Structure formats: C-alpha cells, structure tokens
C-alpha cells in the first residue's frame, strides 16, 4: 500500500504535467487581473478606512482593518507567487513553504475577521473604549496566530510540495492517512468550522432580531451579509477539494480542475471585498473625495478679490 501511494505521489507531483499554452496564458491573465485588482483595491480601501474615518460611520473598524490587511497580503504575496509559478514552472524552497504557511494564515484570518464582525454587529460592541478595544484586538490577533500555527505544522513535518494544479505549494501526504485525518479535522474544526458556526448563527439572529438602531444602513457594517456571501461562495471549491481528500483512503487529491478552481476563486474573494465596501454610499463618497478633491480644487477658478468700480468715473 505504501509503495503504491509513493509511486502515485511521484507520478502526480514530481512528473508535472505541463499546462497547454492556451490554458496557461488564460490563467496568467486571470491571475494578473486578480492581483492588480486585489492590491490596488485593498490599498485604496485601507487608505479610506484610515484617512477618511470621520467621513463615514464605522463602529466595528477593527475586523474591517484585519480583513483588508489579509486580502491585501494575499493579493500581494500569494497571487503574485502563483503568477510567477505559472510563468517559471514551479516554486522552490524556502519560498514554497512560506507561501503555503501564509495562504493558510490569510484564509483563517479572513474568516476569523468576518466572524468577529458578525459577533460585534449582533451584540453591538463597538471598537472603542479601552476594554472593548483590547478584546477586539485580542480576537483579531488570535485568528492570525491560529492560522500561522496550523500553517506551520505541514512545514515542520515537510508535507509541502508544489502542486501545478493549485499553482502554488500545497500540503501532500505520502503514506500516512491517520496524520492527514488528524490534521485536517483539527484545522477545519478550529480554523474554519468554529468561525463558520459563529457567522451562521449570528447572521440568523441579526436578520431576525437586530435592534432597529443597528439596522441602519449608515454604518459600514451594513455590507456584512455581502461579505459573508462572497466568502462562502469563493471558498466552497476549496472546502470541497479538502473534503474529497479526506474521503479518499489512497490519499489521492481532488481533480486538477477543482484544485485550480479553488485557487482562482479564493483569490477572487480578495478582489471582491473592496468592491463590496464601495457598495456602501458613504464609504464610496469618502473614497471619491480622497481621490479627487485636490484635483478639483486646483482646476476650478477661485474668487480671490472683488474690485468695486464707481460708475461716475466712466461718465
């Protein structure tokens, strides 16, 4: 059994199947577009959230900042890593291990930030005041640390190999189904399933019993349902591919097309979140003000003085 799995592993991982030229350049174009949209969009979102906070209402700004930082990091480091891997034919150590660790950290911090936002919105705990600020900072940091810890485990045990289908380094097991089972169950239970339960129940309770003053669309948290829907949609292929791996005793991964789709869709979530923020009118107006106010002031004529003429002097 171990010999068969090892032969399959070497055949599917080390003897990489080259991408057809048409598919390769299509994926390069998609990854390039996602990287540009993610980096530019999340950079602008961070600037608006930091520099224009007084121009729109945001009572729960800490999880928003954490989510935007996660999306920005994923766009700048992970998507660019996949793009370079497509162009060069793979990823080498130690960047291979770093990418794998960071990707899991970004996934965990994203769903953790959304879960914290849903909980805050339900109970009305704003990100102000010493006690609330400490609690929210601790919760956001916990989501990042948890992702780093679970992302480090495959690196320590040397489970990381380049996967051409996912276009980045991913976790593979050569012979131990029990190790894979324990790791995936622990990682999904703590990093994915627990935040998902918080999101699910908080969303239900918010939809049915949110106080009227917290229903106001003036606060940026009004986009929370869209953030939840986007995350669930974009990460569904990733979850399905991991469940397929969990259900196969021979340790064979999900089909290539599904693993490719899971990477492309998870990257898409980083691009969609800034657009979701811009669906909020006050946030959009604050961003436009930040981008265009100085240009408008410099181009429009300005009244500097008034000269009064006596009509009798012209008679």
Return the structure tokens found at 244. Answer: 């397929």
Instruction: Tell me the per-residue pLDDT of 187-203, one tens digit each, with 9 for 90 and over.
Output: 888 988 899 999 999 88
Domain 2-314: CATH architecture, name and number where available: Up-down Bundle (1.20)
Instruction: Tell me the per-residue pLDDT of 34-69, one tens digit each, with 9 for 90 and over.
Output: 999 999 999 999 999 888 777 888 888 889 999 999
> What average pLDDT does this structure show over 169-187?
78
Most confident of 8-17, 22-31, 202-211, 214-223: 22-31
Residue ranges with strand state E in 4-114: none
- What pTM does this model have? 0.82
d(CA 103, CA 76): 11
Apex 73 CA angle, 70 and 78, nearest 5:
115
User: What are the φ and ψ backbone dihedral angles of 215, each rounded to 5 degrees?
Assistant: -80, -10
Q: What share of the chain is helix, strand, coil (3-state, %, to 5)?
A: 75, 5, 20
Q: What is the dihedral of CA 282, 284, 287, 288, to 10 degrees?
A: -110
d(CA 254, CA 166): 11
Return the structure tokens found at 213. Answer: 């003053």
**127 in Cβ contact with 70 (< 8 Å):** no
């Amino acid at each position: 059994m171990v010999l068969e799995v090892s032969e399959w592993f070497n055949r599917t991982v080390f003897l990489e199947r080259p991408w057809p030229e048409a598919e390769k350049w299509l994926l390069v174009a998609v990854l390039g577009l996602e990287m540009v949209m993610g980096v530019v969009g999340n950079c602008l979102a961070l600037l608006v959230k930091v520099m224009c906070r007084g121009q729109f209402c945001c009572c729960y700004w800490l999880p928003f900042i954490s989510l935007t930082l996660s999306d920005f990091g994923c766009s700048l480091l992970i998507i660019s890593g996949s793009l370079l891997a497509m162009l060069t034919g793979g990823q080498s150590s130690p960047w291979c291990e770093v990418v794998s660790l960071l990707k899991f950290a970004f996934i965990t911090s994203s769903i953790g930030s959304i879960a914290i936002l849903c909980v805050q919105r339900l109970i009305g705990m704003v990100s102000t005041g010493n006690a609330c600020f400490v609690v929210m900072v601790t919760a956001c940091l916990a989501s990042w640390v948890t992702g780093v810890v679970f992302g480090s485990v495959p690196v320590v045990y040397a489970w990381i190999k380049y996967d051409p289908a996912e276009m980045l380094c991913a976790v593979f097991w050569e012979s131990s189904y029990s190790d894979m089972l324990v790791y995936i169950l622990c990682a999904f239970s703590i990093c994915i399933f627990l935040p998902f339960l918080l999101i699910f129940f908080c969303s239900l309770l918010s939809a049915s019993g949110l106080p009227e003053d917290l229903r106001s669309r003036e606060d940026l948290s009004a986009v929370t349902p869209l953030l939840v829907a986007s995350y669930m949609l974009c990460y569904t292929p990733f979850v399905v591919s991991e469940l397929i791996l969990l259900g196969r005793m021979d340790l064979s991964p999900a089909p290539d097309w599904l693993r490719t789709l899971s990477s492309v869709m998870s990257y898409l979530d980083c691009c969609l979140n800034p657009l979701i923020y811009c669906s909020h009118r006050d946030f959009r107006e604050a961003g436009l003000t930040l981008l265009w106010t100085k240009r408008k002031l410099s181009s429009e004529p300005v009244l500097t003085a008034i000269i009064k003429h006596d009509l009798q002097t012209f008679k």
